């Protein structure tokens, strides 16, 4: 099923439109999209039975927000595709490279993003949302802790990321609007193989990234295992899972986003993000 955030209200998306969960459930579930993850099993069981019974209304993609808008924790994984390691001149990591994107940088799947300089870059990423509390999870059980998958962009100001004596990954990737996701969360049962999805992005129609998520160095179950060995993962936590080759900073010559550019990010079986870059 497809679940998301329509005008800050928890919504089920069917082929006919959006079903408001609070109305369709007669108040059993509240309107807050983030709260759904706290009762994920109960919510998805209700939704599986009832998603066709509510009134599906047409909606405007511009009114969609991030499917998990206020996570307690956001994890982002660096250098998680061999092709991106190679273009970055780094070795393929033998353990997870983890940083964060602060949730105040979250935004929805459609709209404008304000450029914070002239070295702002794209990173198409599959985003996973945690569906239940996780401590010391085995790799084999990793998918059981995932509520679903959505499309993300890890937009990055390269000048800030690499300024000073030590990298500033969190800051360079957390300008307002730099963490879009959506258009909705797709539960893992919807995919033939949730570990093998086509991913890519275009800038002004030109293909910049194109890969399959099966080429990740660390799979999503491996991330859940390794992260949960250190920290407790909580329902609604968000993981940006890394980007494949084709980022602008690694190109010769380098390419960065400019005012007026249209960035479209897509993942097979989920949908797309569509953003216009604008000057400050
Ligand atoms: Zn990234």
H/E element, 227: helix 220-228
| pLDDT given for residue 221 in this prediction | 98
CB 178, CB 265: distance < 8 Å: no
Residues, CB within 5 angstroms of ligand 1 (ion): 123, 154, 243
| pLDDT given for residue 39 in this prediction | 97
Which tokens in the block code for residue 15?
């082929």
State in Å: Cα 154 to ligand 1 middle. Answer: 5
Which tokens in the block code for residue 108?
């929805």
State in Å: Cα 164 to ligand 1 middle. Answer: 20
State in Å: Cα 60 to ligand 1 middle. Answer: 28
Segments of the chain with pLDDT less than 70: 52
State in Å: Cα 98 to ligand 1 middle. Answer: 10
Sorted by where each starts, the structural domains of the chain and their CATH numbers stand as 2-59 (no CATH), 65-278 (3.90.850.10)
State in Å: Cα 153 to ligand 1 middle. Answer: 8
State in Å: Cα 87 to ligand 1 middle. Answer: 14
- Mean pLDDT of the residues in the chain: 97
CB 29, CB 36: distance < 8 Å: yes
State in Å: Cα 230 to ligand 1 middle. Answer: 21
State in Å: Cα 6 to ligand 1 middle. Answer: 26
| pLDDT given for residue 25 in this prediction | 94
Tokens 């001149």 locate to: 89
State in Å: Cα 123 to ligand 1 middle. Answer: 6
State in Å: Cα 240 to ligand 1 middle. Answer: 7
């Amino acid at each position: 099923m497809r679940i998301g955030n329509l005008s800050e209200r928890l919504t089920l998306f069917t082929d006919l439109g959006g079903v408001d969960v609070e109305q369709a459930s007669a108040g059993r579930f509240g309107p807050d999209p983030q709260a759904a993850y706290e009762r994920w099993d109960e919510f998805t069981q209700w939704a599986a039975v009832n998603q066709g019974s509510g009134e599906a209304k047409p909606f405007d993609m511009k009114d969609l927000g991030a499917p998990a808008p206020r996570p307690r924790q956001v994890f982002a994984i660096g250098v998680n595709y061999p092709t991106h390691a190679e273009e970055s001149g780094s070795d393929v990591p033998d353990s997870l490279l983890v940083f964060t994107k602060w949730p105040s940088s979250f935004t929805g799947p459609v709209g404008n993003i304000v450029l914070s300089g002239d070295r702002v870059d794209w990173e198409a990423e599959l985003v996973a949302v945690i569906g239940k509390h996780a401590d010391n999870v085995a790799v084999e059980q990793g998918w059981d802790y995932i509520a679903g998958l959505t499309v993300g962009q890890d937009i990055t100001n390269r000048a800030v990321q690499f300024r000073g004596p030590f990298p500033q990954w969190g800051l360079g990737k957390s300008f307002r609007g730099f963490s879009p996701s959506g258009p909705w969360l797709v539960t893992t049962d919807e995919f033939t193989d949730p570990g093998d999805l086509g991913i890519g992005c275009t800038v002004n129609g030109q293909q910049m990234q194109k890969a399959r998520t099966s080429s990740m160095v660390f799979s999503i179950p491996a991330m859940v295992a390794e992260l949960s060995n250190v920290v407790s993962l909580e329902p609604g936590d968000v993981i940006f899972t890394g980007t494949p080759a084709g980022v602008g900073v690694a190109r010769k010559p380098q390419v960065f986003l400019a005012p007026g550019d249209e960035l479209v990010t897509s993942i097979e079986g989920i949908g797309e993000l569509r953003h216009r870059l604008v000057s400050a």
